[in-house]
């Protein structure tokens, strides 16, 4: 039984209820548009969220902490409210008379006072009467379309929180210093490479440029904004850029280079071209190359490296994914990521996933970023990212970029540094694999001789 309420819509509702998750109890299109079917599956269960859908695209309903029954009586609920979801926003209409918050009618669906009834008289229609019990604008709530295409009821359950973090983290300034030194003094495992090159790939607005700015901020000692970042429907990055980070304002470059790309977009001929990804991976693309979504790079382009060295190639690919949007990722975007992943796999390049905006996705984490590995909700999203991108959960790392802060935060720094250390470890795996291949080729040559 698949819920009609999207993961994003569920998250929006849950953000008003605390650290909870929703479990689907009843779906009218499957169980029947009748009061009997509704009561059979929902009576005695609480708290609940009831949701109605119409063919005008409206999603609306109500919340009550009281269990449903068929007593015919009104029940008290000072926390009940009606709502409608407008894009990414929940508009809430609190109950006005607590004693008449919900009515337990046998031949109807969810019945909120005398204001809103989903499935009135066992029919797929809505009864809507704003007034004394709840006040709302009918055009705003459901567009004055009273015909239901579906009705669902969800049980509100406490979201699992782990007593101990499932990934242990040391949140101390000494640990931050230790991690910064580990990055600063890292040496690639091959003499021909002085800086590991990490390619950042992801949808528009996921936070690729913001990740570089945030990592750069840690070593600069204050929040920086070197790479262009912000909110836009199309990619703010239009060039292929390679960014080095210095160990302090006048320090030496760190042994890692972050390569930023155009954001991926759904449409054909928009955003980063998948063929350009291959050119980047092989080291052909010059710095500051201007992307052309309708025409990938060709070998006669200015600055094209025809014989790239190992130092020019990509040693680790990192997918940057917005935690708030992983569950509503479009099929076309998922197909683009899958096409890229297949090409990266063929080239034997390690792959990592950065899950950004975790504080926006989970109120428990927004309250304290140190709850990141105690949140069952974040772990669920990490598992979803793992499944959608086809990488192990151990390759998914959550981070919080600096976006509105003016000063650095120890805990954000530790997550950012942990992500970069994983990139360096994955690059080591890449160099190990190259070394093994070279040794095997030498062994076979010796055997032949």
Please check whether residue 224 is in contact with residue 291, taking contact to mean a CB–CB distance below 8 angstroms.
Answer: no
Whether residue 340 is found in the same domain as residue 289? yes
Which three-class secondary structure string do you get for 50-87? EEEEECCCCEEEEEECCCECCCCCEECCCCCEEEEEEC
pLDDT tier for residue 419 given thresholds of 50, 70 and 90: very high
Whether residue 274 is found in the same domain as residue 227? yes
Whether residue 51 is found in the same domain as residue 183? no
Asked, for residue 83, whether it belongs to a domain, the answer is: yes
pLDDT above 70: percentage of residues in the chain: 90
Higher per-residue pLDDT: 250 or 354: 354
Q: Summarize the confidence of residues 63-79 as an average pLDDT.
A: 94
Whether residue 137 is found in the same domain as residue 177? no
Query: What is the pTM (predicted TM-score) of this model?
Result: 0.69
Relative to beta strand 351-356, strand 396-398 is: parallel
How many whole angstroms separate alpha carbon 117 and alpha carbon 92? 16
Relative to beta strand 289-290, strand 239-246 is: antiparallel
Q: Summarize the confidence of residues 159-176 as an average pLDDT.
A: 90
How many whole angstroms separate alpha carbon 336 and alpha carbon 53? 31
Asked, for residue 165, whether it belongs to a domain, the answer is: no
Gap between the terminal Cα atoms of the chain: 64
Asked, for residue 363, whether it belongs to a domain, the answer is: yes
In angstroms, how far apart are the furthest CA atoms of the chain? 94
Asked, for residue 293, whether it belongs to a domain, the answer is: yes
Give the residue among 138, 121, 122, 120 at the shortest CA–CA distance from 60: 138
- Name the helix (H) or strand (E) containing 177: helix 173-184
- Give me the residues paired with residue 155 across strands: 23, 48
Whether residue 126 is found in the same domain as residue 181? no
Please check the confidence at residue 30 and state whether its pLDDT lies above 90. Answer: yes
- CB under 8 Å to 290, separation ≥6 — which residues? 238, 239
Q: State the pLDDT at residue 300.
A: 67
How many whole angstroms separate alpha carbon 267 and alpha carbon 177? 44
Q: For residue 411, what are its two tokens? A: 């805990």
Q: State the pLDDT at residue 256.
A: 96
Identify the CATH number of the domain in which residue 183 sits. 3.40.50.300
Whether residue 84 is found in the same domain as residue 144? yes
pLDDT tier for residue 247 given thresholds of 50, 70 and 90: confident
* Residue after which a domain boundary falls, among 158, 182, 209: 158
Please check whether residue 93 is in contact with residue 82, taking contact to mean a CB–CB distance below 8 angstroms.
Answer: yes
Whether residue 198 is found in the same domain as residue 284? yes
Mean pLDDT of the chain: 88
Give the residue among 83, 78, 54, 52 at the shortest CA–CA distance from 66: 78
CA 52 to each of CA 127, 154, 176, 434: distance values in angstroms, whole numbers, following the listed order = 11, 12, 49, 57
pLDDT above 90: percentage of residues in the chain: 62
How many whole angstroms separate alpha carbon 337 and alpha carbon 98? 50
Which backbone phi and psi does 416 adopt, to 5 degrees? -65, -45
Q: State the pLDDT at residue 132.
A: 86
* Residue after which a domain boundary falls, among 96, 128, 158: 158
pLDDT tier for residue 235 given thresholds of 50, 70 and 90: very low
Asked, for residue 154, whether it belongs to a domain, the answer is: yes
Whether residue 55 is found in the same domain as residue 200? no
Please, how many CA atoms are within 13 Å of residue 423, restricted to the half-sphere of its CB? 29
Asked, for residue 2, whether it belongs to a domain, the answer is: no
Whether residue 350 is found in the same domain as residue 222? yes
Domain count, the chain: 2
Q: For residue 174, what are its two tokens? A: 């000494």
* Residue after which a domain boundary falls, among 158, 185, 201: 158
Asked, for residue 167, whether it belongs to a domain, the answer is: no
Please check whether residue 304 is in contact with residue 297, taking contact to mean a CB–CB distance below 8 angstroms.
Answer: yes
Please check the confidence at residue 386 and state whether its pLDDT lies above 70. Answer: yes
Whether residue 92 is found in the same domain as residue 195? no
pLDDT digits (tens, 9 = 90+) for 115-157: 999 999 889 999 999 988 999 999 999 999 999 999 999 999 8
Whether residue 124 is found in the same domain as residue 184? no
Whether residue 120 is found in the same domain as residue 199? no
In which domain, by residue range, is 246 found?
173-448
Q: Summarize the confidence of residues 384-388 as an average pLDDT.
A: 92
CA 305 to each of CA 116, 196, 294, 297, 430: distance values in angstroms, whole numbers, following the listed order = 66, 18, 21, 11, 22
> Where do runs of H (alpha helix) occur along 33-171?
35-42, 138-142
């Amino acid at each position: 039984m698949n819920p009609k309420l999207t993961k994003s819509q569920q998250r929006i509702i849950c953000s008003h209820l605390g650290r909870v998750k929703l479990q689907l109890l009843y779906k009218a299109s499957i169980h029947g548009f009748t009061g009997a079917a509704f009561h059979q599956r929902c009576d005695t269960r609480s708290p609940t969220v009831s949701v109605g859908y119409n063919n005008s695209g409206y999603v609306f309903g109500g919340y009550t902490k009281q269990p449903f029954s068929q007593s015919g009586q009104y029940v008290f609920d000072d926390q009940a409210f009606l709502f409608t979801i407008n894009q990414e926003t929940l508009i809430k209409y609190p109950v006005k008379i607590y004693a008449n918050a919900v009515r337990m009618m046998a031949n109807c669906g969810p019945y909120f006072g005398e204001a809103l009834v989903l499935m009135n008289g066992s029919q797929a229609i809505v009864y809507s009467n704003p007034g004394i019990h709840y006040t709302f604008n009918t055009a705003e709530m459901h567009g004055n379309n009273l015909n239901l295409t579906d009705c669902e009821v969800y049980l509100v359950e406490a979201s699992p929180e782990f007593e101990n973090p499932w990934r242990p983290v040391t949140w101390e300034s000494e640990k931050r210093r230790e991690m910064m030194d580990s990055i600063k003094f890292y040496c690639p495992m091959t003499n021909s490479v002085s800086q590991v090159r990490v390619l950042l790939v992801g949808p528009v607005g996921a936070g690729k440029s913001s990740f570089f700015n945030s990592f750069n901020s840690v070593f600069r000692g204050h929040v920086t904004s070197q790479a262009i970042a912000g909110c836009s429907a199309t990619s703010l990055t239009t060039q292929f850029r390679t960014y080095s980070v210095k160990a302090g304002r006048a320090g030496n470059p760190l042994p890692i280079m972050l390569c930023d790309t155009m954001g991926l977009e759904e449409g054909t001929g928009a955003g980063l071209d998948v063929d350009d990804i291959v050119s980047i991976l092989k080291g052909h693309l010059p710095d500051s190359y201007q992307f052309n979504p309708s025409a990938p790079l060709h070998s006669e382009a200015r600055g094209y490296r025809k014989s790239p060295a190992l130092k020019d190639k990509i040693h680790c690919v990192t997918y940057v994914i917005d935690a708030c949007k992983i569950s509503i990722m479009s099929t076309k975007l998922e197909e683009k990521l899958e096409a890229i992943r297949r090409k990266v796999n063929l080239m034997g390049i390690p792959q990592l996933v950065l899950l950004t905006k975790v504080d926006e996705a989970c109120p428990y984490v927004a309250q304290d970023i140190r709850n990141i590995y105690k949140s069952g909700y974040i772990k669920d999203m990490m598992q979803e990212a793992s499944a959608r991108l086809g990488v192990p959960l151990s390759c998914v790392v959550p981070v919080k970029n600096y976006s509105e802060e003016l000063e650095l935060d120890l805990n954000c720094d530790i997550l950012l540094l942990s992500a970069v250390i994983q990139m360096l470890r994955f690059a080591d795996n890449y160099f190990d694999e190259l070394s093994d291949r070279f040794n095997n080729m030498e062994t076979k040559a010796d055997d032949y001789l």
